[in-house]
Amino acid sequence: MNNQQRSTIWACIDGSSYSAAVTDYAVWVAKKLQAPLKLLHNIEHRDTPPLMDLSGSIGLGSREELLEELTSMEERRSRILLEQGKAMLQDAHRRTVAQDCPDAESIQRHGSLEETLVEMEDEIRVLVVGICGEGHENQEKQIGTRLESLIRALHRPVLVVNRPFEQPPQRIMIAYDGSEVSRKALDMVSLSPLYSGLECHLVHVGQTAQESDQLKEGAAILQQAGLKTVCAELKGSVQEQLEHYYSSHDIELVVMGAFGQSRLRELLFGSLTQRMLINSKIPLLLLR
């Protein structure tokens, strides 16, 4: 399937406080890429304990009555969740209309969110998700329990939202280490209209002259694409240096390649990544 067919921006909507920001960032991406937008509410299946585990040694007739009651309760629960989801999608759609993006499509699905998105992967251009979902947002220093597995399962850019949308980003920071995956991410940035007009800060945390040469090569890719590029060669702890840089330069979005074979991989999917996501005050766009 070609890139024109993979043209839809998907936003995951739930009952968390991040849903409004997810919607707003998704609208920004959709308008910047001139791509259609889909709002997805996914209802996770819940495992129901076997009847015998609940009924013990009560009589057959009582067990049948209990089964009927459990079935009725589960049906009511499903209807309530369905209606709640529709209300969430309606709220999200109203936000898109208010931002001149009236044609967003609303979708409800049942089952695992990861399975749903993998099934729809061919039409996803960018996925926008909150850093944690409904029921986990009040837990301090937490990210969504399924966030890492979701990013691993998909081979599409994933924008992780962790704060309200205030204005369209003007400055982004690209974490670059010269590895194959980060060069691929840099190529994606240079080719995508999402980054046109933005000030791109290409940041490398390294120690050697060879690594400095890699930074220059990366900057040339962005400059040849007509992007305003600022280069920074830093030394020290990767996490600390990146966080200090984006905080001190008013960066509004961090862009990274996913699954590298270097410190970038550790940054994305190790204990360092979790600390980065937990402590980050700005959204992260993870490129595959």
Are 88 and 139 in the same domain?
A: yes
Are 147 and 235 in the same domain?
A: no
The answer as to whether 197 is a domain residue is yes
Least confident range of 137-151, 220-234, 274-288 = 137-151
Are 12 and 153 in the same domain?
A: yes
Residue of 223, 234, 245, 253 whose CA lies nearest to 32: 253
Would you state the pLDDT for residue 132?
Answer: 82
Domain boundary (161, 180, 198) is at 161
Tell me the residue range of the domain where 107 lies: 8-45+81-161
Are 152 and 20 in the same domain?
A: yes
CATH number for 249 = 3.40.50.620
Q: What is the DSSP letter of 27?
A: H
pLDDT reading at 158 higher than 90: yes
The answer as to whether 288 is a domain residue is no
Distance of CA 133 to the CA centre of its chain: 11
Domain boundary (135, 161, 187) is at 161
147 — pLDDT class (breaks 50, 70, 90): confident
Are 19 and 68 in the same domain?
A: no
Q: By three-state DSSP, how is residue 38 classified?
A: strand
The answer as to whether 189 is a domain residue is yes
Are 141 and 277 in the same domain?
A: no
Are 32 and 108 in the same domain?
A: yes
The answer as to whether 1 is a domain residue is no
In whole angstroms, what is the distance from residue 192 CA to residue 174 CA? 14
pLDDT in tens, 45-90: 655 444 445 545 555 567 777 777 777 777 777 788 788 989 999 9
Tell me the residue type at 61: G
Higher pLDDT, 209 or 27: 27
Higher pLDDT, 98 or 44: 98
Start-to-end CA span in the chain (Å) = 16
Would you state the pLDDT for residue 208?
Answer: 64
93 — pLDDT class (breaks 50, 70, 90): very high
pLDDT in tens, 28-37: 999 999 999 9
∠ CA 241-151-129, nearest 5°, is 85
**Domain tally, the chain:** 3
Would you state the pLDDT for residue 5?
Answer: 44
Residue of 151, 167, 141 whose CA lies nearest to 12: 151
Are 155 and 12 in the same domain?
A: yes
Give me the chain's average pLDDT, please.
83
Are 154 and 258 in the same domain?
A: no
pLDDT reading at 130 higher than 60: yes
**Angstrom distances, CA of residue 21 to CA of 16, 92, 113, 177, 287:** 10, 10, 19, 30, 20
What percent of the chain is modeled with pLDDT above 90? 51
The answer as to whether 2 is a domain residue is no
Q: What is the DSSP letter of 162?
A: -
What percent of the chain is modeled with pLDDT above 70? 80
Per-residue exposure over 220-237, b if at least 16 CB sit within 10 Å of its own CB, e if not: ebbeebebebebbeeeee
